[in-house]
Structure 1
Amino acid sequence: MPRKGMRTLNWFSPKHPTLDSTSPSTSQFYSPSRPSFSEAVIDRTIEMAEPMITKWDPHTTTFAKVTSLFYENRKEAKDFIKVVNNLHKAMHFHATENSRSDKLVRAQSLIQIAMKRLQKEFYQILSINRAHLDPESISTVSSRTSISTLSSTSEFDVEDNDDERVAIAGESISEVEDFSNVVMADLRLIAECMISTGYTLECLKIYKVMRKSIIDEAIYRLGVEKLMSSSQVHKMRWEVMDMKIKDWLNAVDVAMKTLFNGERILSDYVFASNDAIRESCFTEISKDGAMTLFSFPEIVVKNSKKSPEKVFRLLDMYTSIVEHWADIEATFSFDSESVIRSQALTSLVKLGESIRTALSEFEISLLKESSKTIIAGGGIHPLVIDAMNYIILLADYSNVLSDILGESLPPAKGSLPESYFGIADSDESPAPAISLRFAWLILILFCKLDTKAKHYKEVSLAYLFLANNLQYIVVKVRSSNLKYLLGENWISKQEGKIRKFALNYERLGWSHVVESLQHDPNASMTPQQVKEVFKRFNSAFEQVHRKQSVCVVPNSKLRDDLKVSIARKILPVYREFYNKHRDTILKERHSSHVIRFSPEDVGHHLSDLFFGPVESGSSSSVESSPSRTTPSGLR
């Protein structure tokens, strides 16, 4: 495009109204001794425009150099824009008759002076009003709908009264919002005037430099920066990378809700008159910052070391992009911004692939776990604690995991025991794939528990171990999102299994005590026979109690249920026998050696059971909340 001093008549936009070209030819008004109509028009227009334009020439007076036209007198600023537009129209009209007129040269000189003034005003408004034009303020006080409505109400034409315009715009908005809208309107007035007179490049250069710096600075302040080389990222400690990911998660939320949204609103409004200009303008301003933002997850996935605990940060990033996807598509909707949308989608795909790999590795590590550690007292195995914490945290991401795992086939339902399901047991209502995934992981854990239970020499303790660990799993399921994924039927069936394990423990662990009291209650007994029953009970109870006193049941409900159940099997029978035959023994010498336990003593001994050899410590380890760490039992 020619420089300002060499601009041609092609600059004059045909969209501005001029005298109708179908009107009688201006040549009929022209004669050598009489100026043409177009000359009269441009003479009159120059006469009206020159005083105001030269007054605000920044190179003529100190006043014009240091004073802002739009801040000094907004009414005069409106008139300034008006005379510039009129002068441009007059030049266009006169050029159709005489393209080499000296008047055009004079008019063009005035246009150049006016454009220098408007460039200065445009820069000052953008610079001074950063607080009112920051994306947060714009996205808070405006929306594309309200901006559109505001525009259609008045079009901010130069002939509108400023005060009326502000009144219309600000009836339902605050004073701060009102001021921001006035500033935006001033920018639009200047931009449309400069673009219509052929000074598009000068206008956009100022706007792009000023606004791009705001985007780039905001992205940097949000803690997002272009990561170093792949090798440096690979060597970065996870704690450092974790902090960078947290910054990124916050940055995406702020950037999409505020930063890019506000900037898009502003550019759409200021350059509303030209779709191509507002597209190129917003794209150039936002592209670098957006690419830096959305390329971050891909770089993390490509270059970070893989480990199970990192899957939650990957899920956080995946969730963030998914939640903001509608905003990404709406904000970066231009064709020239397809590279931004493509980068966001690429990061989403790479995150999904990495998450699938991490979950597969977790499943494999669970399947391969083969420790033979025996938990004293049949307590909760560390594998169960770590694995359930991990699975519970995964369940919090069940929605996005459904998307991520949707294409990969879950374990066939036939590979899971029929009794295992409670979510959906019919073909008409199949269990969701994501529910099958979690069911499969917990089933693997069940199988590992069965294997570990076999390492106990005491079969009763093995059943208590299974009851304890299954109870722990059920409690964790009930208190997490797994409850909704696995369903009440699933939980009820597992609680039924817990009861069976508990009954087997009671039967095998306490049968000797129960059997020691077996006799015909209606048969008469000699003192010797009574002594034998008491001695049998004493021996059996002491032996079993000593063996079972090392057992631990961390869950208070299961602990109480077991104690009540055992007591019901022993105490009523023993109390009846004790009350019936106590007097017989008390007549004998050394009766205290025969009757060693009163019913109350038996009850107290039973009430002290299942706290383990050390009452503190056992429960604290199993009541801990989930943490985002690698399951220690799987390392």
Structure 2
Amino acid sequence: MILSETPNDTNTNTLHSKRRTPGFFTSSKTLSPSYSMPISSAPSTPTHHKFSLSMMEENIENAESIIKKWDLNSSSYTKLTSLFHHDRKEAKEFTKSVKGLRQAMHFLVCQYSTSTKLVLSQKLMQIAMKRLEREFYQILSANSHLLDPESVSGQSSGGSRSFDDEDEDISKDELKITGEAITEMERVSALAMSDLKSIADCMITSGYGRECVKIYKSIRKSIVDEGLLRLGIKRLRSSQIQKMGLEKLVALIKNWLEAIKLAVRTLFCAEKILCDHVFSASDTIRESCFYEITKEEAINLFRFPDLVVKNKKTPERIFHLIELYQAVSDFLPEIESIFDSEATSAIRLQSLSSLDKLGHSIHSTLSEFESTIQKDSSKTPVFGGGIHPMTRSAMDYISSLSDYSEILSAILADHPTPENLPLQESYFEIPTSEDGSIPAVSTHLAWLILALLCKLDRKAEHYKDASLSYLFLANNLQFIVEKVHTTNLKFLLGEDWKSRHMKKVQQFASNYESMAWTKVFSSLPEKTSMTLSTEMAKECFSMFSAAFEEAYKKQTSWVVQDGKLRDDLKVSIAKKLVPKYQEFFDTNIAMIIREKNLELLVRFSPDDLGNYLSDLFHGASSSGSSRSSAPLLPPSRGCLPR
């Protein structure tokens, strides 16, 4: 990895050999005895040489004056004072003098390699670099609160100006950001960024980029590390996540979702802006420097979803995985923009890897949920043909998934439902999008509901009474349709889906009604308006009373939880039964009115039927018991003619 870079016009990378001791301000450079410069194709005239030599010597003299003044080894006041804080104009002259000194050294090496001035220049350059190293360190350290993410991210990489822009000092009025006058804090922050860039430019072009980068990385990495720690991002192992309780894991995920927003948009973005600005003189340096500062914490941040994916698999965890996927997906363009260099490719790859693993885990969790439905082996019928617990939990789960329809469509697009499997078209039809395609999330959620319906069909077989099994199917399908209608599922499955399934509900209800009340209807003569003989009338009244009492006693423990479906069933039964019985009653009651024990023969008046029917479908009896032992209400003798 290259940490220093010198422009082609100076070629000073080969100028020095280096001797270092620990610390930021201990660089020492001496001229290499083998140093040589390329010979120009057209040798200069002696007059030109003398003219250039005098100019270079003047550069050295000017540099010597100001550089020695700020020599760290001097006993003067300047040893304890910051050059850039003391006098900004003089600081600018200092960096200019280094540039002139570098030009002079370049010239002398080419033309007068044995000149004593070359040794002096070398010594002056070492003194200047030590001073700039110290200034660089002091500015970074003293202004860490002004170079924080909130301050820096408000500026662009070109938001603060370099000393090279104009001759005069930078004033508050001159510094603008996005066309608006900046605050004092923003001004100081911008000046600090400008100073750092000026020093970095000078040191890099002088061949001291490595020293400059070492200081920068040490200070800025600690700031990034501290920033992530304040956001609650710690380094965790997979085993720690595995042992973590659900409540703690949920809190950790919630914190991470907040942290990634601040880390990407503030912390990493600001560090990128600052690094790009300070090291704009070298693409190689700024890219490698930014990577070294952020790599550990960025990779640790973006690998967190990987750890969660490996955690214990439960159906409920899918919602946390979706939230993580949504966050990584939302921030991926910004992540790729911030970590856009070849040097930071490992960070981009980590975020992409997390996204991919989350997607696979989400699809896997859906498949496991479907498998859980299919493998359910409970055989105990639900009391009264009511809503099966699996129906409630499955539909709550599926309807919650519909709240994430947009992101689920993106995830499931690469995971189509199995093909060549027998689908019941009436269960599976779903709306198409404008381009005629079927949204992936619609297909998958419809498929899950189909799996549930197929399992309910099998569970209905556990009822010994066929009419109760149809009531069970009507109840559960009604619940499913209502759940679809009152959640985002209605937009994913469409009105046609609802209409088709409501017809299924009505079909199940009709089957129940036909099977549950057939004996009652068949106890009456086919033509209820026909007058029967006394014996036949007695027999019909007796059969009807027995059949109705049996049906009533059995069905008082049955349940229809949907109010509309319950009322519709009662109305339907009453419309078919009461008028028919009323007609038979009115026609034949006179034949047996004088019979003894009339109350045993005619136990129900037509008005009584409606009262009894109103008691149905509330599940009045407890499981395992029956109302068969409970006496029926006595008939309203006032309705019987005398």
> What TM-score, normalized by structure 2, do the two folds share?
0.78
| 1:213 aligned partner, one-letter code | S
Conserved? CA contact 1:318–1:352, under 8 Å? yes
Q: Give the deviation of 1:372 after TM superposition.
A: 0.4
1:489 Cα offset (Å):
1.7
Q: Deviations over 1:501-555 (max 9, x none)?
A: 1222233334555666777576678999999887776655554343322222233
After TM superposition, list the pairs within 5 Å mapping 1:344-383 onto structure 2: 344-383=351-390
Q: Is 2:190 the counterpart of 1:181?
A: yes
Q: Does 1:117 align with 2:131?
A: yes
Partner of 2:140: 126
| Residue of structure 1 equivalent to 2:180 | 172
Paired residue for 1:163?
171
CA RMSD of aligned residues (A): 4.2
1:57-97 CA-partner distances (Å, limit 9, x unpaired): 44445753554443444444334433433443344345444
Specify whether residues 170 and 347 from structure 1 end up closer, same or farther in structure 2 by C-alpha distance, changes over 3 A only.
closer
Could you say which residue in structure 1 is the equivalent of 2:306?
A: 298
Of structures 1 and 2, the one with the larger relative CO (CA 8 A, separation 6+) is 1
Equivalent positions of 1:260-279 (< 5 A) are 260-279=268-287
Per-residue CA deviations over 1:145-167 (Å, capped at 9, x if unaligned) read x435x47x989636364127844
Distance 1:124 1:576, change over 3 A: farther
Cross-structure match for 1:222? 231
CA distance 1:604–1:167, change in 2 (3 Å): farther
Q: Which runs of 5+ in 1 are unaligned?
A: 15-20, 31-35, 616-635
2:157 to 132, 137, 147: 147
For 1:444, the equivalent position in structure 2 comes to: 451
Q: Counterpart of 1:2 in 2: which secondary structure?
A: strand
- Between Structure 1 and Structure 2, the one with more helix by share is 1
Distance in 1 of aligned mates of 2:340 and 2:363: 30
Match of 1:28? 47
| AA in 2 matched with 1:147 | S
Residue identity matched to 1:27: P
User: SS at 1:272's partner residue?
Assistant: coil
Q: Which residue of 1 aligns with 2:209?
A: 200
Deviates more, 1:68-77 or 1:467-476: 68-77
Change (3 A) 1:254 1:607: farther
Aligned to 1:417: 424
Query: Which among 481, 486, 499 is matched to residue 506 of structure 2?
Result: 499
Q: Deviation of residue 604 (structure 1)?
A: 5.5
Query: Structure 1 residues 7 and 514, CA, compared in 2 at 3 Å: closer, same or farther?
Result: farther
Deviation, 1:462, is 1.3
| Alpha-carbon shift at residue 416 of structure 1 (Å) | 0.2
Contact 1:421–1:489 (8 Å) recurs in 2: no
Matched residue, 1:64: 78
Secondary structure, counterpart of 1:225 in structure 2: coil
For 2:568 and 2:192, locate their aligned partners in 1 and report how far apart those are by CA, in whole Å.
73
- Whether the aligned pair in 2 keeps the contact of 1:184 and 1:266 (CA below 8 Å) is yes
Partners of 1:27 and 1:583 lie apart in 2 by 149
Tell me the alpha carbon deviations over residues 124-148 of structure 1, each in whole angstroms, 9 at most, x when there is no partner. 3222322332234433x13xxx435
Query: Which residue of structure 2 lines up, in the alignment, with residue 77 of structure 1?
Result: 91
1:306-329 per-position Cα deviation (integer Å, ceiling 9, x unaligned): 444434434443443333332332
1:6 partnered with 2:29: yes
Structure 2, gaps ≥5 residues long: 1-16, 20-26, 623-642
**Contact 1:26–1:38 (CA<8 Å) still a contact in 2?**
no
Comparing 197-206 and 581-590, the one that deviates more: 581-590
Cα distance in 2 for partners of 1:528, 1:125 equals 116
* 2:480 equivalent among 463, 473, 476: 473
Q: What displacement does 1:449 show?
A: 0.7
**How far did residue 488 of structure 1 move?**
2.5
Contact map agreement 1:571 1:602 (CA 8 A) in 2:
yes
Q: Structure 1 counterpart of 2:320, which letter?
A: R
Alignment partner of 1:256 is 2:264 = yes
Bigger Rg over Cα: 2
Taking the aligned partners of 1:72 and 1:608, their CA distance within structure 2 comes to 96
User: Deviations along 1:189-208, whole A, 9 cap, x unmatched?
Assistant: 22112212222111111111
Give aligned pairs, total. Answer: 592
Q: Could you give the per-residue CA deviations for residues 247-286 of structure 1, whole angstroms, max 9, x where no partner exists?
A: 4444333332222222222211221121111111111111
CA separation in 1, counterparts of 2:89 and 2:30?
Answer: 30
Q: Quote the Cα distance in structure 2 between the aligned partners of 1:487 and 1:312.
A: 24
Residues 571 and 82 (structure 1 numbering): CA distance in 2 closer, same or farther, change over 3 Å? farther
Deviation readout 1:463-482 (Å, 9 max, x if unpaired):
12111111222222234443
The counterpart of 1:485, out of the listed 476, 486, 492, is 492
Equivalent AA in structure 2 for residue 293 of structure 1: L
SS in 2 for 1:6: strand
How far apart are the structure 2 equivalents of 1:519 and 1:449? 37
The separation in 2 between residues aligned to 1:137 and 1:570, in whole angstroms, is 82
1: CA distance, partners of 2:248 / 2:512: 49
CA distance in 1, matches of 2:244, 2:162: 56
Q: Provide the TM-score with structure 1 as the length reference.
A: 0.78
Secondary structure of the 2:344 match is helix
SS across alignment from 1:162? coil
Counterpart AA for 1:6? K
Task: Please say if residues 528 and 580 of structure 2, whose CA atoms lie closer than 8 Å, have aligned partners that are also in contact.
Answer: no
Q: Which moved more, 1:286-295 or 1:40-49?
A: 40-49
Matched residues in 2 for 1:177 and 1:597: separation?
92
* Aligned match for 1:210, one of 216, 219, 224: 219
